[in-house]
Amino acid sequence: MKSKVVITIARQFGSGGREIGEKLAGKLGIPFYDKALIHLAAKESGIDEDLFDFADEKSFHNFWNASPGSAGFYGNRISLFNEMPMNDRLFLIQSNIIRKLAENGSCVIVGRCADYILRDDSHTVSVFIHSTEQDRQERLVHNYGIAEKDAKDAMIKTDKKRAAYYNYYSGGKWGRADNYDLSINSSASGIDGAVDLIITLAELKQGDVK
């Protein structure tokens, strides 16, 4: 890629989104962030990493009426920040980490409402990965070690949590096509095919293809 690019990947559980993100980052030679965001957020805030891990892509409390996408919001209104529910504070801290990563250079970020947080960043390419129920269940069994009898239930519950988290903090609809630049069925494209599709779109969007 000639220009800076930040690629955000939202994904159904078991669709291969994380694997696609890792391969994409490797192919482009740029950093990859998934669970690493939790460590970065904990390190910057001084809040126990276990709290971030517990709240990861889950929502439990009523959020305030102001936009969670306001850069530096909690930094300017400390008293309000300290009065907020812990999950909302963790979301804002992690949001600021995501913005800093995007400002610092090209990267791939998986989940955590990154597409919404970076919605006004012209360098961002947002992607949603989905696939057939059968392929997802097979991936959960073979790649995640989930028992076959539990795979469907795990898939449904995890997606519900991700959808609730995204919808809660963004006010949008998780998985809805018009929230993303590209929606890919990884059952149709394959993992490597999805990587190539994302790179092609990123080049087109960034003007690297003449």
Q: Is the pLDDT of residue 97 over 80?
A: yes
% of the chain at pLDDT higher than 70: 81
pLDDT greater at residue 52 or residue 36: 36
In degrees and rounded to multiples of 5, residue 108 shows phi and psi of -115, 130
pLDDT greater at residue 20 or residue 35: 20
Residue 27 is assigned to a structural domain of this protein: yes
Residue 163 is assigned to a structural domain of this protein: yes
Residue 209 is assigned to a structural domain of this protein: no
136-146 pLDDT, tens per residue? Answer: 999 999 999 99
Q: Report how far residue 135's alpha carbon sits from residue 71's, in angstroms, rounded to the nearest whole number.
A: 39
Residue 1 is assigned to a structural domain of this protein: no
Residue 174 is assigned to a structural domain of this protein: yes
| 137 half-sphere exposure, CB direction, 13 A CA radius | 11
pTM: predicted TM-score of the whole model, two decimal places: 0.83
Residue 52 is predicted with a pLDDT of: 65
User: Could you tell me how many residues make up the chain?
Assistant: 210
Question: 153-183 burial by CB neighbour count: b if 16+ within 10 A, else e?
Answer: ebbeeebeebbebbbbbbebebbeeebbbbb
Centre a 10 Å sphere on the Cβ of residue 184 and count the other Cβ atoms it contains: 25
Identify the CATH number of the domain in which residue 59 sits.
Answer: 3.40.50.300
Q: Is the pLDDT of residue 73 over 60?
A: no
154-179 pLDDT, tens per residue? Answer: 999 999 999 999 998 898 899 999 99
Query: Residue 194 class from Cβ within 10 Å (0-12 exposed, 13-18 middle, 19+ buried)?
Result: buried
Residue 200 is assigned to a structural domain of this protein: yes
Q: Report how far residue 142's alpha carbon sits from residue 170's, in angstroms, rounded to the nearest whole number.
A: 33
pLDDT greater at residue 59 or residue 161: 161
Identify the three-state secondary structure at position 150. helix
Residue 195 is assigned to a structural domain of this protein: yes
Counting the structural domains of the chain, the total is: 1
Q: Report how far residue 86's alpha carbon sits from residue 204's, in angstroms, rounded to the nearest whole number.
A: 40
Mean pLDDT value across the chain: 84
Residue 66 is assigned to a structural domain of this protein: yes
Q: Is the pLDDT of residue 78 over 50?
A: no
Q: How confident is the model at residue 181 (pLDDT cuts 50, 70, 90)?
A: very high
Domain carrying residue 178: 6-204
